[in-house]
Structure 1
Amino acid sequence: MTERFIRGLARAKWAILLGWLAITAASMLLLPDLAAIVRQTEQKFVPADSESVVAKNLLERINPETTTKSSAILVYSRAGGMTDRDRAWLKAKAAELAALSGKDGFKSVQSAYETPELASKFRSKDGTTEMLIVGFTGTDNDAITQDAVDSLNERIKGAPGGSKVELTGSAPIGKDFQESSSEGLQKTELLTVGLVLVILLIVFRSPVAPFIPLVTIGLSLVITRGLVAAATHFGMPVSSFTESFLIAVMFGAGTDYCILLIQRFREEMSHDGDKVEALARTARSVGKTVAFSASTVFVAFFLIGFAQFGLYQSAVGVAIGVAVTLVAALTLTPALLLIFGKATFWPTRIAGGQGHGESRLWSAMASLAARRPVAIIVVTAILLAPLTLLYHNKRSFDDLAEISPSHGSVQGFRQVERSFGSGEVFPLSIAITSSASMRDPAALAVMETASANVAKLSGVKEVRSAVRPLGAQLPDLTVSDQLTKTSEALQQLKDGVDKVAGGLQDAETSISGGQGDVDKLTSGLRTMASKAKEAQRGLDQIHGGLQQASKGADRLAGGLKQSASVSDSMSADIKALLKAHPELLREAAMQQLVGKQKGLSDGLKQLQGGADQLTSSFTQLNPGVAGVASGLGQLATGQTDAADGTAKLGSGLTELTNGLDSGAKGLRDVSSGLTQVKEAEQSIGDSQIPGWNLPASALDSPELKQALDYYISKDGKTAKIDVVLAVNPYSEEALRTVDQVREALRHSLGGSSLKDAKVYVSGTSAQITELKAISKNDFLRTGGFVLIGIFIVLMIMLRSILAPLYLLLSLVFNFLVTMGIVEFIFVRLLGKEGLSWSASFFIFLIIVALGVDYSIFLMARFKEEYKPGGVRLAMAKAMSTTGGVIVSAAIIMGGTFAALMMSGVNTLLQIGAGIVIGLILYAFVFMGLVVPALANLFGEANWYFFRRSKK
């Protein structure tokens, strides 16, 4: 800032003020609302190529018509158990919400009333709690989803007395977090302004001077909010932390810059009372200090933009705020000082030679640091180093810890946790992709094996998949169930075989009686042949015998027909049996029975031929009885033929009897074999050997089709598995279980027909595992960038390499001490599981970026006062004149961040506490003792490199 520039400011001071007011008004009217954008922004910022995001995108393709992007769980409970009235109200509410599907952000409703077969999933075993799951078309932070949650909150009012109804799930929890952050931000703004005003009144002892920083920072904040909101359209991320840090950093750092300018202006005004000249001297002396101080903060927050993690990147908006604040501090603040002049410090009068005074305390510390630099460094290290050992980097990823337990989403979650288990609210959803279709029996068998292996893990409560839609094996597809049904079928088959065997026994008895008749007929015919000569003497007797023989032949023909009918019936039964159970053909007994049956058929054909011949003979004998006397030779021949025919008939009947014996025996063997199969099945069932089998025909069953459509895409190349955890999804046990689930799935698929399949895990616990790794790696990476950037700025400003090194080392050491104290307070004393996962990063960033300001204040004055060989004197002068400014700046900065502790958001509470501790510790211990001791210890070596380079 040159003298010409200051004189130009003096002439245009009112124009500058009006210009800033105009820009502020335009920003409010024309630029977007940052708060509205933050409300609709995803707060976890998981990278788009992360596993959980890829999994979520894949799962949405399985069934887009039914897939929801966020959800709410309506939790209805009654301590003494739900009544019929409760269920009637809940059933009516489920129907009411189901009617909203496709309207106003609502998409689906799942309940015991919509899907009765899943009633056990929605009703607790103790009968005290029931759930409805409402799906939304938008993500948690979409405006339409938040409006739907508001509508849902209104619709659940008026429940029966004595009951309790709460909303939990991803959408209500996200909404409560946003509202808590917004309410906390409002508290922070009011507390910050109030604290800064009180501190400034104490520092300046004037009611006028405090309004210069407040106006400067207030206008800068309004403009910055609009610029940051506009920058989001170009891809800059924002979060709930963005506004909080903007307020804290701009009021803290901006007020510090204003204090530095005002205090120096007051000191220069005491020389001659000329405000223009005083301002010009102020600009020449501390203008660069303010510029470099703001530059370190700007560089630190600007480099955050190179972080890979979106939540960390969301702090880059502070860099815009610091830039606007710097411009305002170098234009608006000087214009206001010129406008108010001496009235700035009213009612205090500035007498000639009266500056802001020197601090006796800081003069004493400067003297001590000059006399005993080594002792100070050693004692400080001994006292503070043990505190760093308290820091174990214990981090918590519990989103519910960010919200007050009084919020309905937290109370609803706790009720589900008590009645169903916390894993029901945030299950793992796993996407499996394969180049081949998974809608076939072999792939589904692999899916069952994988599901069973995951279900065995200690941290898993239940696994739901295409083959386990209700969380357990489908009974129809288990080997034990199939064996039971096979046993029943075999018993029926055995009963049928026994009946056939009985029928064959009856047939055998009947045929045995026919055999006796044939034997008698054969004997009679042979007797007739031997006594043909006597036939002439008994023609009448022969005629009567022939008539009886003819009747016997008729009876024989009838018996043969009956035997043929039995044989045909038996053949048909055997064929039907073999058709129903082709596996019986492999039995030796059945093969023998089939062979016997064929012989039986052939024998009956021969019998039928003999019967026909016998009938023909009798037909010839009866009409020729009148010529018997002349044809006795023919009669003898006919009788002989008849005897041969009947002999053949007897042989056929014998074969038939033997065939029936073999058939009966074969069927008895089959019956015995079926009994053995049934006993074997019973033995397998008793041994309780697990098994699973999917017949190809089962794929056509309506139940399995419904499960396949829900869990597997139409092309079969993407499948879904839901895993309900047995532990809190935010806990360390859950994070370990995620890795175990992923490993179990990959191992199960690796040695199967799906060995080339890929596994992607999503869900709250899966996202946390990614956040844990991403945030840790980005902390180290981005933290390194910040330190390097600040080192370069300090090196340019101080013209030194050594001084920036020990300044940064002191800041890092101060950070470790601070984190040890903070972790001890919140984890050891207050019993937290760990510090909020993002707290350590932001504490580091702000302590380093803002703490270095105090180093710049001190070292810039030190360099200004330095003369070769006068390191101790220069440091003493710098400390005595800037000590008060450093203390005031630290108190103001600490105060602005202390306001975050009242926000009601756990992370901001921890960040605020850490920054207050860290800045106060750094201002008094490190800036008051350690840094001066180091500067005195190294002496002229502070500028060794630059002095040699000049030579």
Structure 2
Amino acid sequence: MIERLVRGLARTKWIVLIAWIAITAVSILALPDLQAIVRETEQKFVPSDSESVVAKEMMERIDPEQTTKSNAIIVYSRAQGITEQDQQWLQEKAKTLQNLKGDDSIKSVQSAYEMPEMASKFRSADGTTELIIVGFQRAENDTVTQEAVDVLEESLSGAPEGSSVALTGSAPISKDFQKSSEEGLKKTELLTVGLVLVILLIVFRSPIAPFVPLLTIGLSLVITRGLVALATEYGMPVSSFTESFLIAVLFGAGTDYCILLIQRYREELRVDNDRVEALVRTMRTVGKTVVFSASTVFVAFFLIGFAQFGLYQSAVGVSIGVVVTLIAGLTLTPALLLILGQAAFWPSKVNSGQGHGESKLWSAMASLASRRPVAVLLVTVILLAPLTLLFEGKRSFDDIAEIDPGHGSVQGFRQVERSFGSGEVFPVSIALTSSDSMRTPEALAALEYASASVARIDGVKEVRSVVRPLGEQLSELTVQDQLTKTSAALEEMQSGVDKVAAGLSTASSEIATGQGDIDKLTSGLQEMSSKTKDAKNGLHQIHGGLVSAAKGTDKIVGGLTQSSNVASSMAADLQGLLKAHPELMNDKNVQMLLGKQQGLTKGLSELKKGSAAVQSGFKKLNPSLDKVADGLGQLAEGQTQAADGAKQLKGGLNELTGGLKDGAKGLTDISSGLTQVNDAQKAIADKGGNQIPGWYMPEEAINSPEFQQALDFYMSKDGMTTKLEVVLDVNPYSGDALVTVDRIRDTLRQNLSGTAIADPQVLLAGTSAQISELKDISQNDFTRTGTLVLIGIFIVLMILLRSILAPLYVLLSLGFNYLVTMGIVEFIFVDLLGEPGLSWSASFFVFLIIVALGVDYSIFLMARFKEEYRPGGIAYAMSRAMTTTGGVIISAAVIMGGTFAALMMSGVNTLLQIGAGIVIGLILYSTVFMGLVVPALANLIGEANWWPFRKQNSAAVVVKETHQKKADPVLEG
């Protein structure tokens, strides 16, 4: 069948060439542009059901009119400090951008001039930097957004002299990342073609032969790009790595296949110089090897399509390229060889050519591996195993490191990092949901408590939420502020109590002073009563003491007048006291005293009237002495009652004075207690500071217009979804940020559990949160996909070699080589160059390519080993395979290493590490493992290499081995 196909190809060789050129032209004209698609593709590749994606979608529903999907940050700085002229320029710039709102790109413009109450958010504390944040309606990779970024960059010209202005944020960073990738891709293409051409010139020692693989791979690459771009319309993911890997793998592996075919064709052409027969023999032998080699690469990259992580899946396009390259290698390359014939190797003469010849170095390694397989394995393991311990799996997720530091987005990011802090550009966004509305005082208090707990986490700069719209706690609603207000109220109350106590003390003193007048009144009344009685007795002696009686009556009138005056004075004093202290009106003693005073006044009035009558009677010499005597008796009785009332008044005033003194003392005690309470509250406030968790927002504060703005911005209308923004004070790409993100999630879930927020669900988004997810997703996908790749390659090797043991030790050698390679790579980049870790995707792609492409060298060797093998001739067959394919393996490794070495010049940190890892790995595998380890294992296992598919005759084995040793001087030695 192969013979018929080759002879048919010989008749249609020109048609095949023209057909490939035509297909290439059609793909250029009709198929999509892969680079344009990559430019518009989201590069983060987080699964759609991941926490960060779901959280972002939930937060977008809070306020769709204000939510932006990407942003750009204008970073304006002056080392000596922002001047008034700078601010005028920025204000004009903000106004200009505001006028652009409403189109399909710019959705919001935030600055210190539109939001003066939040000026601290836009101006650095050191006064050197100011920000304007522009929000876009579409994602950062969208064409419209990228065009808007271009417009912004153009608008930044004309800044005041001496200032610096840069554009950073998600959209500019994405744009510069894509730009760096495209620039790196151009470098990679040129370097790859140049390196491959130089290596092929050295290998073939001909200026014509190198163009056979170059044309084959070049046309395959162009067609593959169009097919991969077309496949994206059916869901195939692509990334900035897709084209880089296409170039490296197709030029590397494809050139290796072409070298294998061309070298074997030259070897066969030496037999009879018949182009067709030489090609028939070539395709019959190495054609199958090429198919199986390409199959392992195809299987490896095809199985990546089963990864969950989009960036890993984006390498699946290489499998399309491998198929196209294989078809081209089996059709276009033979057609070109048939067309060129011996001219392909000009100026060398094919008749005298020896291909790679019998390599003495590989013959020596074959002899060593066959004679001392155990020693070779032990020495190799002892020397290489320590290198695997250098691989600790340290990974870096810093996307900024992937971009040329000279780009504006990186410079702007670093300026913000210096002036505001690392986390200001990419805060952690948190979506919080509840089964009930959170627009209640209790739920808001729970939110504040959770926000305060997060703010205390190491690595957190500030927390912005509905209860902290400016990133700071609403202090007027905290326990500390309430304690301060209570202390002020207590101090005011204490002052009032002190004044009342002083008033009571004054009243007590005044009453005590008035008691002396009451004693005088009592004494006067008693004296009057006694004299009245004497007057009554004197009536009996009226005749004898008329003159004396008249004088006594005058005295009585005078005494009554004096008594009346004293009573009036007491009444005035008492009324004055009641006016000064109206609260005494409620005192029972005072009421009793008032009644007695009124009785005293009344008695004195009656007494005065009686005295007047007596005086009148004396003057008129009223003969009715009995009436006068009765009057005098009543007067004496009234005076006695008045004296008793005065005594009772004195007792009541004594009691009142005691009560006033007790009241004053009680108020003094109250004042002392208030002082102690106030001092205690101040002590609590001083010790607790801002860490006092108590917080409460009354209903009237919730309904205030100011707080409603914060509610509408941070919380959905139904109150069941709210968002928080956590600004980190560490680099959002760093390992510390990943640890902080986990602590934030745990702290929120712990502090919200059992609160007024019903069934709280916490979901994190943002750069740091996505990186945290990538860490787990990529690691799990590595393990799962790597296992699938190994199984797929094992099956291909088992079919090719018809063995189980041989594929096993080949895969073991590849795995050991990978660990050694990664140990060396991590030592170089982390320990020597000071990187925080290898790029997070580097280890996966190094594994994939070393295994998928490194196994090709095993196939080259083992396929020839199987071809040369005869029962009993393990050592001879391996020696023959090594001496004939050793040069091909080295050439293929050099070609493959050269194509991936070109990635190291791309300027993209991840590609640099991947390129370095693959170069190191291929060098190790093509020399140490292919020259020593795999041959030693093959010789050590012996005839079991083909188990369980072939059984050998022991007698035949001995005879054949002896015969082959005699025929092979290397083995005889």
The TM-score, its normalising length taken from structure 1, stands at 0.84
For 2:241 and 2:27, the matched residues in 1 are separated by: 21
1:283 aligns with 2:286: no
Alpha-carbon distance between aligned partners in 2 of 1:653 and 1:703, rounded to the nearest angstrom: 65
Correspondence for 2:923 among 920, 923, 926: 920
Does the C-alpha gap of structure 1 residues 544 and 666 become closer, same or farther in structure 2, counting only changes over 3 Å?
closer
Amino acid at match of 2:586: Q
Instruction: Measure how far apart 1:320 and its partner are.
Output: 1.3
Specify the alignment match of 2:674 in structure 1. Answer: 677
Q: Give the deviation of 1:160 after TM superposition.
A: 1.6
Match of 2:912 in 1: 909
Work out the CA distance in 1 between the residues paired with 2:754 and 2:179: 50
Partner of 1:123: 123
Q: Does structure 2 conserve the Cα–Cα contact (< 8 Å) formed by 1:363 and 1:880?
A: yes
Counterpart in the other structure of 1:832: 835
Q: How does 1:515-534 map to 2 (within 5 A)?
A: none
- Distance between the aligned counterparts of 2:338 and 2:306, measured in 1? 40
* Partner residue in 2 for 1:761: 764
TM-score by length of 2: 0.83
Tell me the residue number matched to 1:184: 184
Cα separation, partners in 2 of 1:316 and 1:610, compared to 1, 3 Å: farther
Higher mean alpha-carbon deviation, 283-292 vs 757-766, is at: 757-766
Contact residue 815 and residue 918 of structure 1 kept, 8 A: yes
Shift of 1:706: 4.2
Alpha-carbon distance in 2 for matches of 1:654, 1:319: 116
Query: CA shift at 1:45, angstroms?
Result: 1.9
- Structure-2 change in CA distance of 1:298 and 1:566 (3 Å): same
Question: Is 2:192 the counterpart of 1:195?
Answer: no
**Larger deviation: 18-27 or 842-851?**
18-27
In the TM superposition, 1:474-485 aligns within 5 A as 474-485=474-485
2:701 corresponds in structure 1 to: 699
Q: Deviations over 1:172-193 (max 9, x none)?
A: 2222211111110111111112
Instruction: Note the C-alpha offset of 1:703.
Output: 5.0
> Which letter does structure 2 place at the counterpart of 1:358?
G
**1:720 — aligned with what?**
723
Counterpart for residue 965 of structure 2: none
Equivalent in the alignment of 1:378: 378
CA contact (8 A) 1:167 1:408 kept: yes
- Counterpart for residue 854 of structure 1: 857
Q: Could you tell me which residue of structure 1 aligns to residue 59 of structure 2?
A: 59
Aligned equivalents of 2:215, 2:294: Cα separation in 1: 18
SS in 1 for 2:950: helix
Distance apart, 1:304 and its partner CA: 1.0
Task: Give CA-to-partner distance per residue, 1:411-460, whole Å, 9 cap, x none.
Answer: 22222333333233333333333334444444444434433433333333
**8 Å Cα contact 2:464/2:726 also seen in 1:** yes
Structural RMSD (CA): 4.4
Distance 1:128 1:411 in 2: 15
Letter in 1 for 2:400: L
Change (3 A) 1:650 1:514: farther
SS in 2 for 1:423: coil
- Name the structure 2 match of 1:359: 358
Which residue does 2:451 correspond to in 1?
451
For the pair shown, the structure with the greater C-alpha radius of gyration is 2
Greater Cα shift, 147-156 or 184-193: 147-156
What is residue 321 of structure 1 aligned with on the other side?
A: 321
2:809: which partner in 1? 806
The structural deviation recorded for 1:301 is 0.7
Map 1:158-237 → 2, pairs under 5 A:
158-237=158-237
How far apart are 1:950 and its partner, in Å?
14
The letter for the 1-side match of 2:894 is I
State which of 727, 748, 753 in structure 1 corresponds to 2:751.
748
After superposition, residues 447-846 of structure 1 pair within 5 angstroms as 447-497=447-497, 597=586, 599=588, 666=663, 669-670=666-667, 673-674=670-671, 676-686=673-683, 688-690=686-688, 691-697=692-698, 699-700=701-702, 701=704, 704-750=707-753, 752-754=755-757, 756-846=759-849
Contact preservation (8 Å) 2:871, 2:952:
no
| Cα distance in 2 between the residues matched to 1:497 and 1:403 | 72
1:164 to partner: Cα distance: 1.5
Q: How do residues 872-911 of structure 1 correspond to structure 2 at under 5 angstroms?
A: 872-911=875-914
Question: Given that residues 291 and 326 in structure 2 are in contact (C-alpha distance below 8 angstroms), is that contact kept between their aligned partners in structure 1?
Answer: yes
Distance 1:151 1:635 in 2: 121
Which ranges in structure 2 are unaligned for 5 or more consecutive residues?
540-548, 955-973
Output the amino acid matched with 2:740: T
Distance in 1 between the 2:318 and 2:675 partners? 78
Match of 2:942 among 924, 936, 939: 939
Query: 2-side partners of 1:542 and 1:523: how far apart?
Result: 11
Distance change >3 Å, CA 246–CA 648, structure 1 → 2: farther
Task: Report the equivalent of 1:50.
Answer: 50
**1:427 partnered with 2:424:** no
Match of 1:96 in 2: 96
* CA distance in structure 2 between the partners assigned to 1:604 and 1:73 by the alignment: 85
Q: Report if aligned partners of 1:504, 1:660 keep a CA contact under 8 Å in 2.
A: no
- 1:69-92 superposed Cα distances (whole Å, 9 cap, x missing partner): 333333222223333322332333
Report if aligned partners of 2:869, 2:877 keep a CA contact under 8 Å in 1: yes
SS of 1:689's partner is helix
Size of the alignment, in residue pairs? 924
Q: Deviations over 1:176-212 (max 9, x none)?
A: 2111111101111111122222222332333333223
Task: Report the alpha carbon displacement of residue 405 of structure 1 after superposing the two structures with TM.
Answer: 2.0
Find the residue that maps to 1:946 and give its secondary structure: coil
The question of whether the paired residues in 2 share the 8 Å contact of 1:464 and 1:471 is answered with: yes
Return the letter of the residue paired with 2:687. Answer: I
Residue 960 of structure 2 aligns with which residue? Answer: none
Paired with 2:601 and 2:303, the residues of 1 have a C-alpha distance of 115
Alpha-carbon distance in 2 for matches of 1:319, 1:604: 115
Aligned residue for 2:969? Answer: none
* Preserved contact between residue 599 and residue 659 of structure 1 (Cα < 8 Å): no
Q: 2: distance between equivalents of 1:750 and 1:948?
A: 69
AA aligned to 1:827 is V
Cα distance in 1 for residues equivalent to 2:661 and 2:714: 53
CA spacing shift, 1:881–1:507, aligned 2, 3 Å? same
Contact 2:560 2:604 in 1 (8 A): no
Q: What is the letter of the counterpart of residue 597 of structure 1? A: N
Which secondary structure does the structure 2 equivalent of 1:858 belong to?
A: helix
5 Å-filtered alignment, 1:233-248, equals: 233-248=233-248
How much does 1:780 deviate? 1.8
Does structure 2 retain, via aligned residues, the 8 Å contact 1:260–1:885? Answer: yes
Native 8 Å contact 1:603 1:653 kept in 2: no
Number of the residue aligned with 1:578: none
Q: Counterparts of 2:85 and 2:342 in 1: how far apart (Å)? A: 77
Query: 1:817 Cα shift?
Result: 1.7
Aligned to 2:963: none
Measure how far apart 1:845 and its partner are.
0.5
SS of equivalent residue, structure 1 residue 237: coil
Distance, in Å, in 2 between the alignment partners of 1:396 and 1:879 is 41
CA pair 634-287 structure 1, distance change in 2 beyond 3 A: farther
> How far apart are residue 494 of structure 1 and its match?
4.0
Cα–Cα, structure 1 residues 637 and 469, in superposed 2: closer, same or farther, change >3 Å?
A: farther
